[in-house]
Structure 1
Amino acid sequence: MKIALFGSTGRVGSCILNLLLQSNHEVTALVRTPEKLEPHRNLTILRGDAKERVDIERALEGTDAVVSALGTDQTTVLTDSVAHIISIMEQQKVKRIVTIGTGGILRSRESSELLRYQSTESKRKSTVAAKEHHKVYEMLNASTLDWTIVCPTYLPTGEATNAYIVERDMLPMGAVQSTTGDTALFAYNELFENKYIGHRVGIMSPK
């Protein structure tokens, strides 16, 4: 399968990239600094900016699916990029996309009409990132794509335990963290297993 990967130099994106390459998938990675990626026979590295539509069009050419591990960067880079990705995917008839979100956009257990970041369930003082991810959720939900948003809570750098627990649209009870390795592994598995199309998925790693 040929995958377009955005955010491939980030903590989760780099783990997803390794999993894809280890499984002999073809990957096209759009990055601002190509020097950050190691050459690989199955990796096409494109220099560009995920906010630029023309660069995303190049990255999506001939792909079968998309993975986005883009962060918010305290700006609108995430929503600007995903708006282009959705539009171009629909135009090119590419259906499958898995994105990395945040636990803040899952449903609150305390107040079912709210998302976690809107309720007292979330302990984060800043809601800037959650609001950007919320917009992405709304855009994907309004699209014709087969989407899944992987939603970790506290995200420490760590290996995949393969003992993660997931829950559809909510954070698993008792969730404290999800390692970068587990988050990447679940995103990778979901890309091909298609168990949670049209859902946000909360994920937790064992303590």
Structure 2
Amino acid sequence: MKLLLLGATGRVGSHILDYALKDGHEITALVRSADKLLHLAAENLRVLTGNVLDQKDVASAMRGVDAVISALGTDKATTLSEGTPYIIEAMRREGVSRIITVGTAGILQSRVSPDLLRYQSSESRQKLTRAAEEHHKAYSLLEQSELDWTIVCPTYLPDGEYTGTYRVEAHQLPVDGMQISVPDTAEFTYQQLSRSEYIRARVGIAY
């Protein structure tokens, strides 16, 4: 498969990149700093220096791919809300329908206030909601699109260890879910390339 990976140098994205390289996918990684991937001498990896906030960079990276995985963070800015429209438009132009992204548990439905998202309700312990608001904007844009999207929504995300054992639930965080490691989140996210049960769904993931 020809895959566009966004956020390939981040905590989750770097693990996803490792999985995809080992499985022999042809990967295009759009990164702001190519220096961070110089240690990877893989024939099936194409590194493009650019920015998801540049429409031309996104369009160039999207050419010829079959699917997109985005592990972009919020950067304490508006990266997601500004970049997601460029991603959606480039996918539409190239006829790419499948995108898997990494979000946050804050944009899952609240159990205590079902009409609200977690970050909007008393269920969330986060006092600062800026990151969740950015993920909410990206989710809304994907939901309004015709794409086959999946948003993996981890709760508290320490680096941790790989276990391969965790709980997932569509649209909500598994009951009493407190944390999930970066490697386990990356594995589940990557696995969605070959799965279809969570298309057009947010998926909570936790131990």
Same fold (TM over 0.5): yes
Match of 1:149 in 2: 151
Q: 2:43 aligns with which of 41, 45, 49?
A: 41
How far apart, CA to CA, are the structure 2 residues paired with 1:160 and 1:16? Answer: 13
Residues 27-86 of structure 1 deviation map (CA, whole Å, 9 limit, x = unaligned): 000111101012311100001111001001111110000000000011111111111000
Match of 1:199 in 2: 201
Residues 102-149 of structure 1 deviation map (CA, whole Å, 9 limit, x = unaligned): 000000000001100000110011100000100111100000100000
1:124 partnered with 2:126: yes
Match of 2:23 in 1: 23
Q: What letter matches 2:16 in structure 1? A: I
Match of 1:109 in 2: 111
Q: Where does 1:66-105 land on structure 2 (aligned, <5 Å)? A: 66-105=68-107
Q: 2:63 aligns with which of 55, 61, 64?
A: 61
TM-score between the two structures when normalised by the length of structure 1: 0.97
Q: What letter matches 2:123 in structure 1? A: E
Unaligned residue ranges in structure 2 (runs of 5+): none
How far apart, CA to CA, are the structure 2 residues paired with 1:176 and 1:35? Answer: 35
Runs of 4+ in 1 over 4 A off after TM superposition: none
After superposing the two structures, state which structure 1 stretch, 140-149 or 73-82, moved more: 73-82
Match of 1:173 in 2: 175
Q: What letter matches 1:23 in structure 2? A: D
TM-score between the two structures when normalised by the length of structure 2: 0.97
How many Å apart are 1:158 and its aligned residue? 2.3
How far apart, CA to CA, are the structure 1 residues paired with 2:16 and 2:66? Answer: 16
Q: Secondary structure of the equivalent of 1:174?
A: coil
CA RMSD of aligned residues (A): 0.7
Q: What letter matches 2:19 in structure 1? A: L
Q: Secondary structure of the equivalent of 1:123?
A: coil
Q: Secondary structure of the equivalent of 2:81?
A: helix
Aligned length: 205
How far apart, CA to CA, are the structure 1 residues paired with 2:160 and 2:60? Answer: 32
How many Å apart are 1:160 and its aligned residue? 2.4
How far apart, CA to CA, are the structure 2 residues paired with 1:191 and 1:105? Answer: 22
How far apart, CA to CA, are the structure 1 residues paired with 2:145 and 2:161? Answer: 33
- Percent identity, please: 52
